[in-house]
Amino acid sequence: MATALVTGGAGFIGSNLIEELVKITDKVMVVDDLSMGLESNLPVSDKIIFYEKSITDYSFMKRLLLDERPDYVYLLAAVASVADSIDRPLETHEINQNANLFILDTIRVNKLPVKKILFSSSAAVYGDDPTLPKVETTMVRPLTPYAIDKFATERFVIDYGNLYGLNTVCVRFFNVYGPRQNPKSPYSGVLSLISNAIINDKQFTLFGDGSQTRDFVFVGDVVQALLLLMKTPSASHDVYNVATGTASSLADIIQVFEKLTHKKIALKLQPPRSGDIKDSLADISKLSKLGYQPQFDVEHGVAVYLESLK
Ligand code: UD2
């Protein structure tokens, strides 16, 4: 069996990935500074070694890579919020781009025998271009520090593959939701905010009229995609949308929550949030050709998410 390094592993997506990785690897090294994640998100397993460190601690990262020589590297650590990136562009750049570049370069310079590196990017790279669905070849229009760093780092990751022979792959996550998405964070995705409101009988602030649409993907399907891309040899030096290929409006989602909880959500109506895109939808045919099949429609995914919050 193999070993894996997951940066950002104590976060929402990372911890869901690690739940599966402990079943198929000997050792999972987790680097997380707990700025967003929680150590308690990690499953209990003696295969996990947790380091409470930032990926910007270069001497630590270098020593870890050289000492541990992981087989698989998942680069999930990030300033994960667009709004946060607008408040802190330089720090975002240091974390979202420079620290990842340092990891790539440490692997290159020291000729480490890493079998594959996966970098997590975002649908944010498509920006406000209205063309739908988004295909990986759709023009990118990164409009925020978050999106600019995600796109530039994708290019570094892919070109480290092309130029230096590292085996690399990138993913563009759409609107991911599910267990351990932290509803307390103001930067959290809308589904966790709705969950929080409905469970605690609080108001939910709806920006706009609810007709905006998103491609909401359950975290279990995201994990399926990450594992598939890591083990598929042809998925190399390339980028893949990770989504469901189906859009839901917020009005639809609110109905799903109300049906599942037998409660009515108290809505506070606000004008559309500035900078929001109206609609988002992924074309997932590239990933589907590798065998990816999302298992959770929103009704199923929201039910599992609500169950996890009990
Ligand atoms: C998501 C990502 C963002 C970026 C972007 C790319 C999250 C949290 N954000 O932003 O990082 O990748 O996609 O396009 O995953 N809304 C409300 N009330 C609220 C919060 C949100 O009505 O309290 C609306 C919001 O105005 C928007 C929709 O819900 O129309 C989705 O908002 P979001 O923040 O969950 O995600 P999005 O797609 O704007």
Domain count, the chain: 2
Same domain, 80 and 105: yes
How far does residue 207's CA lie from ligand 1's centre (Å)?
10
How far does residue 272's CA lie from ligand 1's centre (Å)?
11
Strand partners, 177: 218
Distance between CA atoms of residues 179 and 301, nearest Å: 9
Ligand 1 atom with the smallest distance to the CA of 122 is 12
Same domain, 201 and 171: no
Element (H, E) at 205: strand 203-207
Q: What share of the chain is helix, strand, coil (3-state, %, to 5)?
A: 40, 20, 40
Instruction: Provide the sign of the torsion angle of the four alpha carbons 244, 300, 221, 215, taken in this order.
Output: positive
Same domain, 99 and 50: yes
Is there a catalytic annotation at residue 146?
yes
How far does residue 40's CA lie from ligand 1's centre (Å)?
26
Same domain, 48 and 114: yes
How far does residue 189's CA lie from ligand 1's centre (Å)?
6
Q: What is the pLDDT of residue 110?
A: 98
Q: For 195-198, which contacts have Cβ atoms below 8 Å and span 24 or more sequence positions?
A: 195/257, 195/302, 195/305, 195/306, 195/309, 197/265, 197/266, 198/257, 198/258, 198/261, 198/263, 198/265
Same domain, 170 and 194: no
How far does residue 268's CA lie from ligand 1's centre (Å)?
16
Q: What is the pLDDT of residue 171?
A: 98
User: Ligand 1 pocket test: which of 193, 194, 273, 302 has the largest number of ligand atoms within 8 Å of its C-beta?
Assistant: 273
Q: Please identify which residue in the block is written with the tokens 């909880």.
A: 261
Residue range 110-135: average pLDDT?
A: 96
Ligand 1 atom with the smallest distance to the CA of 270 is 22
The tokens for 202 are 């609080």
0.90 surpassed by pTM: yes
Instruction: Give Rg (Cα) of the chain.
Output: 19
Ligand 1 atom with the smallest distance to the CA of 80 is 11
Q: What are phi and psi of 47, to 5 degrees?
A: -80, -15
User: SS3 for 219?
Assistant: helix
Same domain, 145 and 184: no
Give the active site residue among 74, 126, 146, 305: 146
pLDDT tens digits, 136-180: 999 999 999 999 999 999 999 999 999 999 999 999 999 999 999
Same domain, 63 and 209: no
Same domain, 130 and 190: no
Q: What is the pLDDT of residue 258?
A: 97
Q: Is residue 181 pLDDT above 70, yes or no?
A: yes
CATH code, domain carrying 195? 3.90.25.10
User: SS3 for 190?
Assistant: helix
Residue range 177-197: average pLDDT?
A: 88
Q: What is the pLDDT of residue 186?
A: 61
Q: Which of 75, 89, 79, 88 is nearest to 30 (CA)?
A: 75
CATH code, domain carrying 37? 3.40.50.720
DSSP string, 7-29: ETTTSHHHHHHHHHHHHHEEEEE
Report the nearest-CA residue for atom 36 of ligand 1.
Answer: 189
Report the nearest-CA residue for atom 7 of ligand 1.
Answer: 189
Report the nearest-CA residue for atom 20 of ligand 1.
Answer: 190
Cα end-to-end distance, the chain, whole Å: 35
User: Ligand 1 pocket test: which of 149, 190, 252 has the largest number of ligand atoms within 8 Å of its C-beta?
Assistant: 190
Calculate ∠ Cα 277-280-281, nearest 5°: 170
Q: What is the pLDDT of residue 146?
A: 96
User: SS3 for 4?
Assistant: strand
Ligand 1 contacts (CB < 6 A) are: 82, 122-124, 175, 188-190, 193, 205-207, 212, 214, 250, 273, 276-277, 280
Q: Is residue 187 pLDDT above 80, yes or no?
A: no
Cβ neighbours of 253 (radius 10 Å): 21
Cβ neighbours of 245 (radius 10 Å): 17
Residue range 303-309: average pLDDT?
A: 96
The complex scores an ipTM of: 0.95
Residue predicted with more confidence, 108 or 82 = 108
Residue range 282-304: average pLDDT?
A: 98
The letter for the amino acid at 205 is: T
Structural domain that includes position 73: 2-175+218-242
Q: Which of 178, 201, 203 is nearest to 189 (CA)?
A: 178
If you ran DSSP here, which 8-state letter would residue 95 be given?
I
Q: Per the omega criterion (within 30 degrees of 0), is the bond before 186 cis?
A: no
The letter for the amino acid at 153 is: T
Same domain, 251 and 276: yes
Same domain, 137 and 258: no
Cβ neighbours of 233 (radius 10 Å): 7
